[in-house]
C-alpha cells in the first residue's frame, strides 16, 4: 500500500453541494471576489494624499494599468478601454493567486468510488488508497473553462460593441462582410471578401485561444503543484510556488494585454489602416530618395 496516492485530477469542476449547481471553482471564484472587494475596500477607505500600504499598492497598480492602456490606445480611447482591461487583470490575478493558498485543491469532501465503497474513513487526513478519493471544496476559478470562456466571450463581445460604436456599423461590418470590395474590384475583391470571412473565423478562434490559454496554464500549474507535492512533499513546492506566483501574474497580464490589443485593432478603421500604410510607404520612398 502506498503512503499516499497522486490526487485525482479532473478537468471538469465538481459540484460540492449535491442538488445545486455550485461547483468548487464557482465557490473559489466567489471567495476571490470577496478577497478582491475587501482589499479594494480597505485600500480605498482612506484617501490620503501621501499614500501608504495597501492604498499605495492599489494606486500603483491602477496607475500602471492606466499608463499601459494609454500608451497603447491613447488617452481618449484609453479611458474607455481601462475598466475592462483593469478588471481582467485584477480579477484573474486574484483567482490565480488562490492556487497557491494552502488548502485550495487539498481540503474537501471524501467521495469514495466503487472500488473503495466499503472503506472506512478515519480522521481528517486521508492516507493510502483513500488519499485520492477527495473532492476539493476549492479549486481556482481560472481552472474552470466556464469562467475563462465567459471572460473570453466578454472580451470579444465588448471589442465588437466598441468597434461598432466607434467606427460605425458600416465600417465595422465591412471588416467581415466586404461586399464593396467585390463590387469595386471584381475578381480581386473576392480575396478581400474571403479575408473578411477569415476575420469572422479568427474572432471565433480568439474565444478558444483566450479561454484555453488561461485555463491551460493555471490548470497545468495546479497539476504541477499536486504532482510535485506527491513526488517530493514540502521541498518541491518551495520552488514551484514562487514559479506559480510568477505564472499567475504573467497570465493575468497576457489576458488583459491581449484584450487591450484586440480592442485597439478592433476599433481601428480599415480605411485608416490603409491610409497609414500609404503614409508609411510614402515616408519610406521619401527617405530612399533622400539617401540617394
Partner 1 sequence: MNITLTLASAALAHAEGGKSGLDALGINAAAFLSQLVTFLVVFVLLWKYFLPVIQRTLEKRQALIREGIENAEKAKRDLAEATSNAERIILDAKRQAQDTIERATKNASQVAQQIEVEARERAEKIGQQQIARIQQEANRARMELSRDVVNLSIDAASKVISRSVDSNDNRRLVEEFVTASDQARNN
For partner 1, the binding residues (CB under 8 A) are 5-6, 8-13, 21-23, 25-26, 29-30, 33, 36-37, 40, 43-44, 47, 49, 51, 58-59, 62-63, 66, 82-84, 86-87, 90-91, 132, 141, 144-147, 149-151, 153-154, 219, 223
How does DSSP classify residue 18?
T
Residue 50: Cβ within 10 Å count: 6
> Which residues does 166 contact at the CB level (< 8 Å), separation at least 6?
77, 267
Identity of the residue, 11 or 288, whose beta carbon is nearer to partner 1 in the bound complex: 11
Q: Least separation, in Å, of the C-beta of 18 and partner 1?
A: 14
Q: Least separation, in Å, of the C-beta of 211 and partner 1?
A: 9
Identity of the residue, 49 or 238, whose beta carbon is nearer to partner 1 in the bound complex: 49
- Angle formed at CA 212 by CA 28 and CA 157, multiple of 5 degrees: 90
The residues facing 109 across adjacent strands are 135
Q: State phi, psi for 23 to the nearest 5 degrees.
A: -100, 165
- Grid coordinates representing 171? 465600417
Q: Least separation, in Å, of the C-beta of 196 and partner 1?
A: 28
Identity of the residue, 33 or 241, whose beta carbon is nearer to partner 1 in the bound complex: 33
Q: Least separation, in Å, of the C-beta of 84 and partner 1?
A: 7
What is the dihedral sign for C-alpha 61, 64, 65, 66? positive
Burial of residue 118 (CB within 10 Å: 0-12, 13-18, 19+) is exposed
225 to each of 70, 124, 161, 267, how far by Cα in Å?
37, 21, 39, 40
Q: Least separation, in Å, of the C-beta of 285 and partner 1?
A: 43
Identity of the residue, 175 or 210, whose beta carbon is nearer to partner 1 in the bound complex: 210
Radius of gyration of the chain measured on its C-alpha atoms: 25
Contact indicator for 267, 77 with CB cutoff of 8 Å: yes
Q: Least separation, in Å, of the C-beta of 32 and partner 1?
A: 9
Contact indicator for 108, 135 with CB cutoff of 8 Å: yes
Identity of the residue, 178 or 211, whose beta carbon is nearer to partner 1 in the bound complex: 211
Q: How far apart are the first and last CA of the chain?
A: 81
HSE (CB half, 13 Å, CA atoms) of 155? 31
Identity of the residue, 33 or 261, whose beta carbon is nearer to partner 1 in the bound complex: 33
Three-state DSSP class for residue 3: coil
Identity of the residue, 140 or 196, whose beta carbon is nearer to partner 1 in the bound complex: 140
Q: Least separation, in Å, of the C-beta of 190 and partner 1?
A: 35
Q: Least separation, in Å, of the C-beta of 40 and partner 1?
A: 4
14 to each of 30, 277, 286, how far by Cα in Å?
15, 51, 64
Amino acid at each position: 500500500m502506498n503512503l499516499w496516492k497522486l490526487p485525482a485530477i479532473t478537468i471538469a469542476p465538481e459540484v460540492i453541494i449535491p442538488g445545486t449547481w455550485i461547483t468548487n471553482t464557482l465557490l473559489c471564484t466567489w471567495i476571490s471576489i470577496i478577497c478582491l472587494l475587501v482589499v479594494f475596500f480597505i485600500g480605498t477607505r482612506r484617501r490620503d494624499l501621501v499614500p501608504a500600504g495597501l492604498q499605495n499598492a492599489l494606486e500603483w497598480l491602477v496607475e500602471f494599468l492606466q499608463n499601459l492602456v494609454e500608451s497603447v490606445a491613447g488617452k481618449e480611447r484609453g479611458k474607455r478601454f481601462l475598466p475592462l482591461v483593469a478588471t481582467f487583470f485584477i480579477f484573474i490575478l486574484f483567482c490565480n493567486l488562490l492556487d497557491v493558498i494552502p488548502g485550495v485543491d487539498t481540503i474537501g469532501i471524501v467521495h469514495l468510488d466503487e472500488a473503495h465503497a466499503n472503506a472506512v474513513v478515519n480522521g481528517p487526513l486521508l492516507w493510502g488508497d483513500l488519499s485520492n478519493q477527495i473532492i476539493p471544496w476549492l479549486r481556482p476559478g481560472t481552472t474552470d473553462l466556464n469562467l475563462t470562456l465567459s471572460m473570453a466571450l466578454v472580451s470579444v463581445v465588448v471589442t465588437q460593441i466598441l468597434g461598432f460604436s466607434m467606427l460605425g456599423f458600416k465600417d465595422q461590418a465591412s471588416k467581415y462582410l466586404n461586399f464593396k470590395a467585390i463590387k469595386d474590384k471584381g475578381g480581386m475583391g473576392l480575396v478581400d471578401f474571403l479575408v473578411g470571412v477569415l476575420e469572422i473565423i479568427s474572432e471565433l478562434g480568439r474565444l478558444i485561444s483566450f479561454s484555453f490559454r488561461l485555463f491551460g496554464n493555471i490548470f497545468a500549474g495546479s497539476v504541477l503543484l499536486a504532482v510535485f507535492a506527491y513526488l517530493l512533499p514540502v521541498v518541491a513546492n518551495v520552488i514551484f510556488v514562487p514559479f506559480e506566483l510568477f505564472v499567475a501574474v504573467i497570465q493575468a497580464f497576457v489576458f488583459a494585454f491581449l484584450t487591450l490589443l484586440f480592442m485597439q485593432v478592433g476599433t481601428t478603421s480599415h480605411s485608416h489602416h490603409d491610409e497609414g500604410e500609404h503614409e508609411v510607404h510614402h515616408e519610406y520612398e521619401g527617405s530612399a530618395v533622400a539617401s540617394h
